[in-house]
Structure 1
Amino acid sequence: MSETVKILVQALPKVIKSLSVIGTIALVLVAGGIFVHNIAFFHGILTQLPSMVTEFLIGLLIGLLVLGIVSLFKKIIGEK
């Protein structure tokens, strides 16, 4: 194998891990943006922060809330 191919093969797991983190952040930002721009209550909250930070925080909070609800339902119906 050439040196370039070795470097690319060694870098691939790091690239994939990076993409998973970047993709998760992007999805949280998009979800937060949808909530902030479509629900008046969220639109007026945290006005002192930049919009990207507000959208990230709202997306993260709602995502954690949904995760908690889904986990609770899984415990209730007995799935692991």
Structure 2
Amino acid sequence: MTRESILITLTDLIASNLEVQLPEVVLESSRLFEDLHIDSLMVLQLVVYIEEEFDVVVPEEGVDPAVFSTMGMLVTFIQELQEAMKI
């Protein structure tokens, strides 16, 4: 998947599954906590949705919290997980 398609899918996941009002445009630079108003509990829910939607496994330990700082960081993380699944 391209970065753009992952970003769109991720935005749709957040909009349809988490109870947050997203801005009209979500960019890679959008910050999950500050701009999208996602809290730590929602991040845990989002991880489950990411695993299901992108057919990846997010490790329970060793994940850098910075992964969840911006949408772009999260897109990169998903791409890395997808690449790891191919090996």
TM-score (norm 2): 0.30
The alignment's TM-score, normalised by the length of structure 1, stands at 0.31
Name the structure where helix makes up a greater proportion of residues. Answer: 1
Q: Which has the larger radius of gyration?
A: 1
Higher relative contact order (CA 8 A, sep 6+): 2
